[in-house]
Amino acid sequence: MINKRINSDRIFNPILNNHKGINLNNKNKYGNISSCKCNSTCSCNGNCGKSCKCTKFYAEDDDKLVFFNDDSYAVYRLGEWRNNYKLNLLGIDNEIPATQITKNQSLNIIDEIRKYNFNFKGFRINGMVGLAIRFNELQNEDVGELIDTEEKEYYNIKNELNKLKLENPSDFIEINNEKFLIYKLKENCHGAILSKPVNEFTRKYSTVYLSKIKLSGI
């Protein structure tokens, strides 16, 4: 899954170094580690969330219903995209946005990722290409071709998202269902938005963190 409503500026700084942490900002939202009451084991002093206790903590969700207009939840269906995707984080996953809010969140995340730019092997690449190179074992592929592929995939995924049949925002669903994948969104003490599956159906089918990207080392 693509991490819902993630603060992408905390991921891509710098994207191609050796650190595979979640949050690569130089400081947490409180300015330093001593301000974070949750963190006791993070080797990055609260910057990445790799071992920070707060990345694993969520308040118990007492909600029994999820309204499709509630922006504290991301709601998906299991399915397949019409096009094949190699780089796009949302496109390589099998989770299809089911609500307008989730669709908008997905579009915003993709656009935020793409706005980050890096120099790599003589090319100027965006964040989507950078993530694919970093985590999807594409380091040895032609960078120019990856850039062209990402442009095509971006056009395709936007078209698919804009043509999705979405749930009525005034409707709702029980949390315990086997029709929708539902994630509760919560901000941790470092300002990163984390997503937690809220039912067994979602826990069974959800992938780990940023879609099918291989995050070995986290």
Q: Is residue 58 part of a domain?
A: no
Q: What is the pLDDT along the chain (218 residues), one digit of tens a residue?
A: 555 434 444 455 444 443 223 233 333 333 333 344 454 455 444 444 444 444 443 334 567 899 999 999 999 999 999 999 999 989 988 899 999 999 999 999 999 999 999 999 999 999 999 998 887 778 889 999 999 999 999 999 999 999 999 999 999 999 999 999 999 988 878 777 788 899 888 888 875 443 443 433 33
3-state SS assignment for residue 3: coil
Q: Judge whether 129 lies within some domain.
A: yes
Contact call for residues 126 and 140 (beta carbons, < 8 A): no
User: Does residue 53 sit within a domain?
Assistant: no
Q: Which pLDDT score is estimated for 3?
A: 53
pLDDT of residue 62: 60
Instruction: Confirm if 186 and 123 have CB atoms less than 8 A apart.
Output: no
Is 21 part of a structural domain of the chain? no
Domain housing 70: 8-15+63-205
SS3 content of the chain, % helix, strand, coil (to 5): 30, 15, 55
Q: Domain count for the chain, please give it.
A: 1
Q: What pLDDT shows up at residue 19?
A: 27
Global model pTM greater than 0.85: no
Is 210 within the bounds of a domain?
A: no
Residue 32 belongs to a domain: no
Domain membership of residue 76 (yes or no) is yes
Q: Please return the burial class of 176, using the count of CB atoms within 10 Å of its CB with bins 0-12, 13-18 and 19+.
A: exposed
Q: Which residues, 6+ apart, have CB-to-CB distance to 135 below 8 Å?
A: 210, 213, 214, 215
pLDDT at 50: 44
Any domain includes 166: yes
